[in-house]
Structure 1
């Protein structure tokens, strides 16, 4: 029976090649788009889910009670991990994790930069990271122990058999390789890690403090199999308060591993979402694109019902049951879905590298996995049934008596259903286009926001090796050679916030005031180098004013937060030091361009430094300035490669995630409108074909091409217009809920976005329908009326 179904289905596909190609093409495009989205979603939800103990692993969160609510961070005091392990028997293991950043690694004459982290000796056991060489229970015990990845071992030594060999870090520290681990998968929060060092090494360097008020380290916790997550959360809540004393201004809690990646957004101490919101949004998009493709199939199948009516009538007369006929039509739909699915898989395979590049992440298909093929064929079966169910029941509902007597007419059959389905298609298309426009406007809004400093011709370089020792020589040579207009050192790049504090004190401060201030250190000519606008006072100038080493600059928000009427000369205390205000700068964006600018304190030269900013001479070509700068740094810091970052490029990276989401929304909007128009094209062509005799009569009676075109186009135009009106509130809610609400600094939603999107959709739909309408209107009426 199945063989007969497939044979009949094949004959029908061959007999109606044009409509078959449209059906298969529309389904293939929709299935390919849905597959891409599902592959991305699968990649997202798989983050860190490969760890054997994932059900018992947690990250310690820190709820800080501030003046305006609770601020949640995932940085904790360094002594928290060992204290949790010793105090609570429900906790099987703990480990601290502190990133080291890019470190110079040297083996013989080979020098490369590698990314590493300090961890406790329990880290490897907790996360189940397999070692191909070494014992994970003893690999990270001594201060000189280091575990490296297989790829780093091969890069440095040409082999992974490197146990017991040594390597040099930062040109001075010699470490012993005690383990080689497999490369950490890309879908992990640790995916950039190339080596791990023992926490005892950090302690030996004096970098592991015991201050309970210094939140600088990520703490991971493994519970025992019998432990209750809720009970442990209650017990550990006040551990920081217990060791610090004083008010309950900080509470520790556990955040489960499955939620680290997807549920990372907290408001007032409560988990409210994160990347999961974007996953839900694109899952809806994938479902709707697939639904639109299935609607095309349904519309074409029901519109062409007259050609299948006699077949159904004859089969019923000779004894075929409705159940068998439904099976036949569903078999045809599943066959079409199989062909379309195969084309979709090939398309996805070809597009996957480009799609991965767009997402900035490697998305792959494991064709050797039985799970993949089971999912693939399940997807095809689901699509075939979804697309074919209504046509199967509709086509088998014909009464054979009416069909065979010739009294059955199907031009208007399922007419309301087809109009409803077309309206759904263009409602979805219009919604996606409006959402895309709004997302792009929000991005442009952030880009065009005044950032408060001059990004042009400005680079920063990490202070490493001999740069600190030779900083004065480097600075003087850059200035005297005409390469740079100004040079300044800072604690962090201009585009990043590395430190904040509520520990500032000033005259008149409320005892309960816990306002958080962004904090950055800077030396000479900071405002000049960054291009900041001074509102009051002056820039740092240690040559003329040596006391500027304890001077500070405030931004406008900080002046308001501190309540200063005349800020110059005011004393601000922090960590036992008295800092005096020498100037006020206009607010500038240090972190996110989509958030309110927080109060900021810029400490003078008594602060700490990690970065050197260089403002190039504007009259010198950038390539020449970079070449001369490299020569100077190579001369004074020969052990380290010259690496730099343009501030404007670093600033542009703030928009990368949003731009990817915008591109994805735009891509799927295009696919949706393309699939909708493909179905509309086929449907309008079929209706024009069915009305060709009516059109011929109208032309003979004197109807113009314009009036006939309007006759065939008006109905579809009205449907699309209704779809746009329905789409307006849906798209507003969708964008506001899943996108705009994530930004404090966001666009107002204006009517012109809806007008532009609605007009675009209407014009595209009219252009699609009009091609068939004009073709029918220009046809020779003699041809259509010859048989009358």
Structure 2
């Protein structure tokens, strides 16, 4: 029986090659999209969940409320870890993580400067059990002169020789011994991109550490004992920071496996939607695309029902029951599903490298995993049943007494299911198009936002080696040579906020818990960045030596301080800072969020970034070449590395642009699959109505009227799809954008563009067969077989 099923299935599919090809391509396209999305979803759900003790690891966070809005982040003071370990016996191990390291690594003639290093405590590899290739993970970070390398970094430095116990010079003086080699850190980890680990004791040795409780600049992770009461621990830790500093902040812990997907806030403390929401959206998109592909199959299968009606009638007359007929039609759908599945696997392998670039991940298919094949087989079966069940039960329900008398057409017109299926397809497509257009408009809206400074022709160079020591010599030479017109040094790049704290001032209300972003600067920052002064002046150490302890604040900070006239007022942050200037707000963090109150502190705050405004009269490439010579002169052991501020600012849109690109890609794929089914339907309808068209032409109908007759039903279906999809799309787009304070209003023109675009694409899809049918000579179409 089963053999007979397959023989008839292959015979029928071979006989109808066009419809078979459309079904296979449509299903394969939908299955490919679903596979790619689910690979990404799997990666998202595995983020920081692969440690042997994942359920015991927690990130320590800080929580507060400002202007009625919750603020959370996962940056903590450096001394907090030691105090936590002392006060809470339920902590099995604790480690601090500072990803700001960027030493020049030298071994013999090999020099590497672009590697991302991380300061960690000696317990790091005990808590996070990344795979260790060589060395003892429990002893590898105990001494300040040790270093742990990833496999790829070890190969770049030492080739294929054994690196254990060999030495590396960090910057100009520090010599470290390789104590362990670990596998490259995975993309689905908070350590992504890091290539070496150095002990926290080295940070203390070289003077990078501090015991200031107001400097929230590193991450803290704890591993609790298995027997620990987590709820009680979180209650006990809530007001821990208040014991050590005058603050209203509350502490909390977040499971390491939940930190990526379930945090409502970025690590910089800005509100954001949970990433799990985006994951859920893409799961829904994968399901929708697959459903659209299955709808195509249903439509085309039931569209051919008139051809197969007599076949069903004859089979029932000779004894076939409904169960046998359902089995036959499901076998046909399973064959198509299997072929489509194998084709989708091939397409996925071809598309995966490009998809990986798009999502910035290293996704792969585990062909040696039996679970993968079991899930893939289940995926094919579910798709086959989903796409074939309705046509199977529909076709097998025909009454032989009617279809053998030619009364099938009358039965068919009582309920036109195909219209509902086509409307469903285009509803999904229109919703995706409107969502995509909203995302693209939101990106442009944020890109056009006034950022508060001039980012063009502004170069940032982070200190390496002897740059800090020779900073004045470098500055004077850049200015005297005409390469630069303005130069200023800051503690961090203008596009990043690496430090924040509470401030004290005279008259501060007790319930004021404002967190201020802060950066340090030496002088001339206003002119270099072309910030806009509202009051006061720029730093000028030559005229005002006390400007080392001065402060410039933005308008949001001035509002938070609530001074009648901020100039000359004193603010306390570890020391007294006197305000000398007020600038307009400028964007340092997310362009989609409100601007944080910010203070720029004088030279006492420290600087490690040189900001250079290139002379407008110099060619950029020539200026960079001349700049490199000067830096190599005063810092010969290090490569010349720089970044343009406008490029760094553009990176702030990366995640949102990635979302927009993915949405656009899947919206286009949805339209393609929908139109593929539409193409098949119009071909079948035109074929079935050949004689009707011939009669209309004999009676005087023009080609235009014939085309309109064939097209009008599809136009009405698209228009009805718009009416259904528009309110749903508005709700989805508005909910998605509600996470952003600085956002667009969703206007009517987006809906018109989506509706008109879909209608035009649908008309172009059906036009070929409609025009072809209209041009057939009636003498040919009315000729009796």
The two structures share one fold, judged by TM-score above 0.5 = yes
Query: What is the aligned partner in structure 2 of residue 501 from structure 1?
Result: 501
| Aligned twin of 2:761 | 764
Moved more, 213-222 or 481-490: 213-222
**Could you tell me whether the CA contact under 8 Å between 2:478 and 2:484 is conserved in 1?**
yes
Which is further off, 771-780 or 488-497? 771-780
Cα distance between partner residues in 1 of 2:219 and 2:465:
27
Mapped to 2, the partners of 1:168 and 1:357 lie a distance apart of 34
Distance 1:75 1:535 in 2: 32
Is 1:782 the counterpart of 2:779? The answer is yes
The superposition leaves residues 158-187 of structure 1 with CA deviations (integer Å, 9 ceiling, x where unpaired) of 136222211111111111222112222222
Q: How does 1:508-527 map to 2 (within 5 A)?
A: 508-527=507-526
Deviation at 1:411, TM superposition (A): 8.1
Kindly provide the CA deviation profile for residues 283-320 of structure 1, in whole angstroms up to 9, marking residues without a partner as x: 11111111011001001111110111122122222222
**Conserved? CA contact 1:337–1:384, under 8 Å:** yes
**CA–CA distance in 2 between the matches of 1:606 and 1:92?**
38
Structure 1 residue 618: Cα displacement: 0.7
State the distance in 1 between where 2:724 and 2:257 align: 37
Q: Is the 8 A contact 1:262 1:276 kept in 2?
A: yes
Is the 1:305–1:410 Cα contact (8 Å) retained in structure 2?
Answer: no
Question: Does structure 1 retain, via aligned residues, the 8 Å contact 2:492–2:608?
Answer: yes
Task: Tell me: CA distance 1:52–1:495, structure 2 relative to 1, closer, same or farther (3 Å).
Answer: same
CA distance in 2, matches of 1:271, 1:782: 71
Q: Show structure 1 runs of 5+ residues with no match.
A: none
Q: How far apart in 1 are the matches of 2:174 and 2:266?
A: 43
Distance 2:493 2:90 in 1: 42
State the alpha-carbon separation in 2 of the partners of residues 37 and 520 from structure 1.
40
Q: What's the secondary structure of 1:168's corresponding residue?
A: strand
2:10 aligned with 1:10:
yes
Change (3 A) 1:270 1:517: closer
Find the counterpart in structure 2 of residue 535 from structure 1. Answer: 534
In structure 1, the partner of 2:625 is 627
Residue in 2 that maps onto 1:423: 423
CA distance in 1, matches of 2:709, 2:612: 68
* CA–CA distance in structure 2, aligned partners of residues 486 and 83 of structure 1: 44
CA distance in 1, matches of 2:356, 2:161: 29
Q: Is residue 92–residue 223 contact of structure 1 (8 Å, CA) maintained in 2?
A: yes
Task: Summarize the alignment of residues 173-322 of structure 1 with structure 2, pairs less than 5 Å apart.
Answer: 173-244=174-245, 249-266=248-265, 274-322=274-322
- Segments of structure 2 that go 5 or more residues without pairing to the other structure are none
Distance 1:615 1:173 in 2: 33
Question: Distance between the aligned counterparts of 1:527 and 1:754, measured in 2?
Answer: 44
Aligned to 1:75: 75
Give the C-alpha shift of residue 206 in structure 1.
4.2
Distance 2:161 2:237 in 1: 42
TM-score normalised by L of structure 1: 0.96
Deviations 1:612-651 (A, max 9, x none): 0010111110010000000000000011110000011001
Counterpart position of 1:25: 25
Q: Deviations over 1:422-468 (max 9, x none)?
A: 11001011111111111000000011111111111110000121111
Which position in structure 2 is the counterpart of 1:117? 118
- Label 1:206 to 1:527 Cα distance change in 2 as closer, same or farther (>3 A): closer
SS of residue in 2 equivalent to 1:774 = helix
Partner SS for 2:40: helix
Aligned residue pair count: 783
Question: Judging changes above 3 Å, is the alpha-carbon distance between structure 1 residues 88 and 190 closer, same or farther for their aligned structure 2 residues?
Answer: same
Moved more, 513-522 or 428-437: 513-522
In the alignment, which residue of structure 2 is the partner of 1:361? 361
2:64 touches 2:513 (CA, 8 Å); kept in 1? no
SS at match of 2:119: strand
**1:270–1:203 distance in 2 versus 1, CA, 3 Å:** closer
Alignment partner, residue 340 of structure 2? 340
CA distance in 1, matches of 2:643, 2:492: 13
Provide the rounded CA distance (Å) in 2 between the counterparts of 1:556 and 1:599.
Answer: 7
Task: Say whether 1:744 aligns with 2:741.
Answer: yes
Offset of 1:410 from its aligned partner? 6.7
**Relative to structure 1, is the Cα distance of residues 701 and 67 closer, same or farther in structure 2, using a 3 angstrom cutoff?**
closer
Q: What are the residue-to-residue correspondences of 1:389-788 with 2, within 5 Å?
A: 389-409=389-409, 412-413=412-413, 415-505=415-505, 507-581=506-580, 583-737=581-735, 739-787=736-784
Give me the whole-angstrom Cα distance separating, in 1, the residues matched to 2:249 and 2:539. Answer: 36
Q: CA deviation at 1:267?
A: 10
- For the residues of structure 1 that align with 2:541 and 2:87, how far apart are their CA atoms? 50
Question: Which moves more between the two structures, 99-108 or 558-567?
Answer: 558-567
Deviation (angstroms), 1:743: 1.0
Compute the displacement of 1:254 (Å): 1.7
Contact 2:463 2:610 in 1 (8 A): yes
1:384-434 deviation digits (Å, cap 9, x = unpaired): 100000000001001122222333327835742111111100101111111
1:151 aligns with 152
| Aligned counterparts, 1:46-195, within 5 A | 46-66=46-66, 68-113=68-113, 114-159=115-160, 161-195=162-196
1:782 match: secondary structure: helix
Q: Which moved more, 1:467-476 or 1:186-195?
A: 186-195
Residue 278 of structure 1, CA deviation:
0.8
Distance 2:128 2:271 in 1: 24
Change in CA separation of 1:251 and 1:270 when aligned onto 2, cut-off 3 Å: farther
- Shift in Å, 1:338: 0.9
Alignment partner of 1:405: what SS? coil
Moved more, 443-452 or 710-719: 710-719
In 2, Cα distance between equivalents of 1:267 and 1:526: 28
Distance 2:703 2:411 in 1: 23
Secondary structure of 1:742 counterpart: coil
DSSP 3-state at the match of 1:518: strand
Query: Greater CA deviation, 563-572 or 45-54?
Result: 563-572
Deviations 1:296-354 (A, max 9, x none): 10011111101111221222222222112111111110100111111111111111111
CA contact (8 A) 2:214 2:502 kept: no
- Change beyond 3 A, Cα 1:473–1:414: farther
CA 1:571–1:137 in structure 2 vs 1: closer, same or farther (change >3 Å)? Answer: closer
Displacement of 1:66 in angstroms is: 4.3
SS of structure 1 residue aligned to 2:97: strand
Structure 1's 637 and 217: CA in aligned 2 closer, same or farther, altered over 3 A?
same
Cα deviation for residue 484 of structure 1 reads 0.7
1:668–1:67 CA distance, 2 compared to 1 (3 A): closer
Cα distance per residue 1:128-174 (max 9 Å; x no partner): 12322211222221221222112221111113622221111111111
1:756-778 per-residue CA deviation (whole Å, 9 max, x = no partner) reads 11111111112222322222111
- What SS does the corresponding residue of 1:731 show, helix, strand or coil? helix
- Match of 1:523, SS state, is coil
Q: Aligned to 1:151, what secondary structure does the other structure show?
A: helix
> Contact (CA 8 Å) 2:101, 2:119: kept in 1 or not?
no
Between the aligned partners of 2:232 and 2:272, the Cα distance in structure 1 is 22
